[in-house]
Amino acid sequence: MRLALYEPDIPQNAGALLRLGACLGVGVDIIEPAGFILGERRMKRAGMDYLAAVEFARHESWANFRARHSGRLVLLTTKASLAYHRFAFRSDDTLLLGRESAGVPDVVHDAADARLRIPLRQGMRSLNVALAAAMVLGEALRQTGSFPEETPS
């Protein structure tokens, strides 16, 4: 299971997603160009000291990511008809998140093996990308039995 961020715009969201990956043992791919410098202070602050614990890869372009990607590509999008909780996840899935400002272009949308949405109340447009990723990743990890082993406190 992996998370992939397509040309992220907001460093705090990227940092939060890297932290999510670190805490849950999920790799993260960042597909550039990003709307910020990847070492930017705001991203480091959002990721805190968790950045050293996450396995992540930077890809200079969509084509570069596609050349290295394996498994199913599962796009989270407001344009999908299938709700994420009705989808059967696999442990080799990569959950793809679009740009906060624009989502993904048609070529990326068309390349996805599955497109999922989060059901929202009437009139609501979307959730923050990091919140959306956490919700769907939680369901995917639950279905695949891939949560990290719990250790007693």
**pLDDT tens per residue, range 52-102:** 889 989 999 999 999 999 999 999 999 999 999 999 999 999 999 999 889
Torsion of CA 17, 23, 24, 29, to 10 degrees: 40
> Rounded mean pLDDT of the chain?
91
Q: Which two tokens stand for residue 3?
A: 């998370």
Tell whether 151 is covered by a domain.
no
- At 35 the pLDDT is 80
Q: Is residue 149 part of a domain?
A: no
> d(Cα 26, Cα 17) in Å, to the nearest integer?
10
CATH code of residue 81 = 3.40.1280.10
Residue 62 covered by a domain: yes
> For residue 125, what are its two tokens?
């447009």
Domains of the chain: total = 1
Query: Is the pLDDT assigned to residue 152 strictly greater than 80?
Result: no
Specify the pLDDT at position 20.
95
Q: Tens digits of per-residue pLDDT, 3-46? A: 999 999 988 898 899 999 999 999 999 999 988 776 656 656 65
The residue with tokens 């447009």 is 125
Boundaries of domain holding 137: 2-144
Q: What is the pTM of this model?
A: 0.91
In a domain, 153, yes or no: no
In a domain, 152, yes or no: no
**What share of the chain in percent tops pLDDT 90?**
75
Supply 14's token pair. Answer: 């990227």
Q: Say which residues have a Cβ less than 8 Å from residue 41's Cβ, sequence separation at least 6.
A: none
Compute the distance between CA of residue 99 and CA of residue 34 in angstroms, rounded to an integer: 9
